[in-house]
Amino acid sequence: MRTLYNKVLSAAAHRHAKWWLALVSFIESSIFIIPPDVMIIPMVLADRTKWWRIALTATIASVIGGIGGYLIGVFLFDTLGQSLVDFYSYGDKFGQYMKIYAEWGGWAVFGAGLTPFPYKVITIASGVAKLDLSLFILTSLIARGLRFFCLAGLLFYFGESIKKIIEKYFGPITILIFLAIFACLLLINLSFA
């Protein structure tokens, strides 16, 4: 695993790093274990003026890869999809997860797209549950965009000084952002009810 991580990290310094980032972002959304954040951090720090291009590349490739995960859930769950779910240790809980997913739908996609939860699990589950594809794409685009643009934007603004904080606390930070957005939307919804 460490070797794979180091290879992905070294791809961030490659002269075709943007294409490697697109590939990692694409496959991470359906089958790969290493998140694109591993490449985004050194790429932005290497040239902070390109932060938005780097975030945009990761976002678009991730959403397209998410559609691939969705299609695995629709057409290949019994073969490839179940193996991937088992690999990430969600196999025994998948039935329970699907009940929660059925209730929350798009919010589950949004939460997984923004937080460190394995996004590939939610993309496959979206296909199994046959979540409306346009809702899946929209929530994925918003969540993945928020995640990658926030990460790249923080690195652009604060530079190297925030790198260690992001690496250490990225999971809790994204969960707090998700909860804050969810709370705001809930309050807006209650005020118009």
Residue 125 to residue 131: CA distance in whole angstroms: 9
5 CB contacts (<8 Å, ≥6 apart)?
A: 34, 38
Supply the pLDDT for residue 177: 65
Please count the other Cβ atoms lying within 10 Å of the Cβ belonging to residue 23.
18
Supply the pLDDT for residue 64: 96
Supply the pLDDT for residue 104: 77
Residue 89, phi-psi category: left (phi > 0), alpha (psi -120 to 50), beta (remainder):
left
Quick: pLDDT tens for 52-74.
999 999 999 999 999 999 999 99
What stretches of 76-132 show up as alpha helix (H) in DSSP? 82-87, 94-104, 106-114, 119-128
- Residue 193 and residue 129 in contact, taking contact as beta carbons nearer than 8 Å: no
Find the angle CA(102)-CA(188)-CA(119) to the nearest 5 degrees.
40
pTM of the full structure: 0.80
Find the angle CA(159)-CA(164)-CA(169) to the nearest 5 degrees.
115
Each of the 193 residues of the chain gets a pLDDT tens digit; together they read 556 556 655 666 667 788 889 999 999 888 877 788 888 888 888 888 889 999 999 999 999 999 999 999 999 999 888 888 888 777 766 776 777 777 777 877 877 777 777 788 888 888 988 889 999 999 999 989 988 998 898 888 887 776 676 667 666 766 676 666 666 556 655 555 5
